[in-house]
Structure 1
């Protein structure tokens, strides 16, 4: 029986296919494959998604962190652009699966970890997303607090910083609760607004500082190439890890893409360019404040606080918008889906969004952001070491093991081919553990710390190779003829 059909490179369930799984405990409206009418996201939607996510306070802070660690402006910007070009590769590879088969990340993970084992990568991604959610709320809340103090007697209110933080946290949870379609609409109009506001800030800095020269003249603090590389490699891993989370759960968004071309063009044209552009603005504005105010102001809210009340008001709106567009898209969808996947028949995406918001508070973002060392090395570096191996397994499974052939209905069966023997694919678990362990052990061996400094990349490659080797001739892999038996081909189908 044909349970799925392919048209223009996109596979959807047939009516018969959907009937066979709609009563499964692993199926609900949020986790099912998307239908043809739901594939509406264009290149602009994906570009606006990444512009909205990249223009945020953590991007600004990352550039500032690299400068504080000794880099000059062009070393910091190139490190960030290179890291984003590298992470774009797994993003596009995993996007293909989401676009072609219309499945969200937790369901995609069932393919390689098993129907029960999928909770391991889904919860891992979800916890990190919740951590990022808290970080962005803290950034945004602290910025709003700074701006309110500059305009009113807000500083006299006891606990004013915490009031700002929790108030902003509530706004983020409320917007996230409304779901992915609301996020798409918000990103579409917010992206051009954020670009205009960012350019306005850059023009102000350029004008006040008297040109590029005074702004970007600070030299690198490194006296040798060896000294530079000691910071460069962990900083590069941090830049990669910044979006390593999205490299995993990008199917949550690409499942709505109109075509592979739409998602590839939209994402490739916007991610590295926007990250580089906004990082440059952060460096340029902070450098300009040395000329203008005699000190480097790395906090954009501290810069805005020196403006007129009307400019502060506009800046506050910009910071709220920049943080919201990042937070609700990049950091809440994945944990909400992970929670939903724990019990599809009892938990919804909306419940998942609220639970993820509460977990973000338990992860204490104020500690992570206590200093740039915590932010870049402890937070970004450590979770990069965890997610790299999972990225490697996802890529290996879809591209090298299964060769882009998936039996959709089997993903929703408790005794299907992707259940493996016990609901867990032990080979994926071993490949992940080895990919995490080797970089971690290397951290404590003299002469091998460079492996830890590049933990995301090394872990990805190790797990990719091990998983591909271990999954040879696995019974869950469909042959070309097996795939043809279950897939009806529409006459308009093109290569996928």
Structure 2
């Protein structure tokens, strides 16, 4: 685990640059680029974790009937689970210096890799839009406070948001363009210095809430709705499993494209320690802060306020402006790292000679607008059980295929040159590895009926209960099925040769 991140395959330079699969952004990183230490990864995760969407996760679970502490434990458990593929898939980035879009070529083929790249990219576009909407909402709230609600207005037809909301959404969208243009180093810089500010803000928020309320409030000791006599008596497990799957799904996109960051690691030790410190504990801590502050709002305002933007808008004095500015910064930090870097590389991999990292970032930002993210956030049911669980059904199988291919089939050995060769080892049949495609389909299909019933209950009312139950475990089911199918299929073939630079 203490091994240094490997340098580029010596044979890679010879001819690889002429390949249609190559551009400088996708090429393996060299020693001079491997500068990320463990605290850079920890800061990266703190920067991504401390955001409005993460703060509201525990809220969504309590709205579905959990007690505050059941919600916190569910969030922690989900993040401990997703940390495992995060570290395993991150190993490939640290060892070989390649992004996710190149790594998937070893399992899906040099052309087939575009399929999982697009699946992950579209999900990330949705997330980029969601976080941009939340950042725009913070700006909208701040401007309304400063102007006496001058931005309030009727909702526009079809869009279902006002002109003021749309304008603030687009302003926040435009602010992020600077970091798209200046690349991943600018994002690392932003995350490194903003992480401590976020921690201080969280501590200040808890202090303010408990001081104002004269204590922690009664909500923390409130029982769940699953107890005897509760509104959802006996239904804990029916809520827990899809809730846990949603918590895993929350970072399932990063579990795939984490090589986009670990390719800059100095060593495996740096990426492992940094991610282990930076993800599970901060997510759990933020959930605790969320339930503590929300419990205090019951005393202060007479009702539970889970939305930090709504809460901030009720404060008075200069603090409200400072808080909303920090919330805006907070959302931008998370969005750029979690939802821009990955799809930018993914889109670049579709046409390496024509789409650079920056162009891929602009494509991501544009698609995010078209997806109208405010509609995804319209209801808790739609956000957690349709969006989070739904896309986890797509990404779980890809994660399983990647881990089986990289560790069990290839023993962590990859040929850098072959990854950029249209007719090389990873070209399979016409650039497609049928084993990976079939495994992906088999991993996704069992979850499809449950997804359709959850997303469109009026159109699909009579889905058998078995499929609805299966859907609650979507990420786990997809990962397990795809892993087994891919592993058995590839083992039945002659093991691929390990023509590699770095063992």
So what's the TM-score if we normalise by structure 2?
0.92
Provide closer, same or farther for how the CA distance between residues 157 and 205 of structure 1 changes in structure 2, counting only shifts above 3 A.
Answer: closer
User: Which residue in 1 is equivalent to 2:472?
Assistant: 453
Q: Work out whether residues 234 and 377 of structure 1, in 8 Å CA contact, stay in contact via their aligned partners in 2.
A: yes
1:199 aligns with 2:194: no
In the alignment, the residues of structure 2 paired with residue 29 and residue 119 of structure 1 have an alpha-carbon distance, to the nearest angstrom, of: 18
Q: Work out whether residues 409 and 495 of structure 2, in 8 Å CA contact, stay in contact via their aligned partners in 1.
A: no
User: Which residue in 2 is equivalent to 1:247?
Assistant: 255
In the alignment, the residues of structure 2 paired with residue 279 and residue 309 of structure 1 have an alpha-carbon distance, to the nearest angstrom, of: 27
1:381 aligns with 2:389: yes
User: Mean alpha-carbon deviation: is it higher for 459-468 or for 14-23?
Assistant: 14-23
1:141 aligns with 2:145: no
Q: Work out whether residues 31 and 107 of structure 1, in 8 Å CA contact, stay in contact via their aligned partners in 2.
A: yes
Q: Work out whether residues 209 and 215 of structure 1, in 8 Å CA contact, stay in contact via their aligned partners in 2.
A: no
Provide closer, same or farther for how the CA distance between residues 59 and 442 of structure 1 changes in structure 2, counting only shifts above 3 A.
Answer: closer
In the alignment, the residues of structure 1 paired with residue 35 and residue 495 of structure 2 have an alpha-carbon distance, to the nearest angstrom, of: 31
User: Which residue in 1 is equivalent to 2:330?
Assistant: 322
Gaps of 5+ in 2: 154-162, 452-462
Q: How does 1:310-389 map to 2 (within 5 A)?
A: 310-389=318-397
Q: How does 1:144-163 map to 2 (within 5 A)?
A: 144-156=139-151, 159-163=163-167
Q: Secondary structure at the match of 2:15?
A: helix
In the alignment, the residues of structure 1 paired with residue 449 and residue 147 of structure 2 have an alpha-carbon distance, to the nearest angstrom, of: 52
Q: Work out whether residues 151 and 309 of structure 1, in 8 Å CA contact, stay in contact via their aligned partners in 2.
A: no
Q: Shift of the alpha carbon at 1:343?
A: 1.0
In the alignment, the residues of structure 2 paired with residue 173 and residue 242 of structure 1 have an alpha-carbon distance, to the nearest angstrom, of: 24
User: Which residue in 1 is equivalent to 2:41?
Assistant: 46
In the alignment, the residues of structure 2 paired with residue 383 and residue 237 of structure 1 have an alpha-carbon distance, to the nearest angstrom, of: 11
So what's the TM-score if we normalise by structure 1?
0.93
Q: Shift of the alpha carbon at 1:28?
A: 0.9
Q: Shift of the alpha carbon at 1:476?
A: 6.7
User: Which residue in 2 is equivalent to 1:308?
Assistant: 316
Q: Secondary structure at the match of 1:478?
A: coil
Gaps of 5+ in 1: 1-6, 488-495
Which residue, out of 395, 416, 434, partners 2:442? 434
1:90 aligns with 2:85: yes
In the alignment, the residues of structure 2 paired with residue 16 and residue 341 of structure 1 have an alpha-carbon distance, to the nearest angstrom, of: 21
Q: How does 1:401-440 map to 2 (within 5 A)?
A: 401-440=409-448
In the alignment, the residues of structure 1 paired with residue 207 and residue 180 of structure 2 have an alpha-carbon distance, to the nearest angstrom, of: 33
1:222 aligns with 2:241: no
Instruction: For residues 67-120 of structure 1, give each alpha carbon's deviation from its aligned partner in whole angstroms, at most 9, with x where no partner exists.
Output: 111111101100100000000000000000110000001000111100110010
Instruction: For residues 146-185 of structure 1, give each alpha carbon's deviation from its aligned partner in whole angstroms, at most 9, with x where no partner exists.
Output: 2321232343565221111111111123323321111111
1:471 aligns with 2:490: yes
Q: How does 1:69-84 map to 2 (within 5 A)?
A: 69-84=64-79
In the alignment, the residues of structure 1 paired with residue 427 and residue 190 of structure 2 have an alpha-carbon distance, to the nearest angstrom, of: 38
Provide closer, same or farther for how the CA distance between residues 309 and 207 of structure 1 changes in structure 2, counting only shifts above 3 A.
Answer: closer
Q: Shift of the alpha carbon at 1:393?
A: 0.3
